[in-house]
Amino acid sequence: MAKNFKGGMDSLLGETQGKGGPKRGRPKTNFKVVTKTSAAGTKTGEIRATFIINEAQLESVKALAYWERLSIKDVLAQAIEAHLASKKRELPKAVESYKSKTKAS
């Protein structure tokens, strides 16, 4: 008896959920409203940015991330946080100056 392959993949694999059925995959848990394209695909409170970095510094960051079993993002966040903490006296004035400059533009 010959098999009938005219039904396509669905006939071979069995019935699958159509357009009205439940969606495949993990349910969506990030309900962040994206206002900028640089925030698409990121967690709440995060934004995507591109920076140019010295090659030797990048190599060091990658090595440290590997050594401490952290992501590069986490190592950079710790470094930025430490730098900002060291500038806590100057930071409020810098933020105020920056915000007033950007409002005027």
DSSP assigned state of 92 = H
Percent of the chain's residues with pLDDT above 90 = 49
Segments making up each domain of the chain, as ranges? 53-105
- Map 44-91 to HEC letters: CCCCCCCCCCCHHHHHHHHHHHHHHCCCHHHHHHHHHHHHHHHCCCCH
pLDDT band at 46 (very low <50, low <70, confident <90, very high): confident
Torsion over CA: 56, 57, 58, 60 (sign): positive
- Tell me the per-residue pLDDT of 5-30, one tens digit each, with 9 for 90 and over: 666 666 666 655 556 667 788 877 76
Given this model, what pLDDT does residue 1 score? 59
- Tell me the per-residue pLDDT of 31-40, one tens digit each, with 9 for 90 and over: 777 788 888 8
- Tell me the per-residue pLDDT of 73-92, one tens digit each, with 9 for 90 and over: 999 999 999 999 999 999 99
| 35 Cα distance to chain centroid | 15
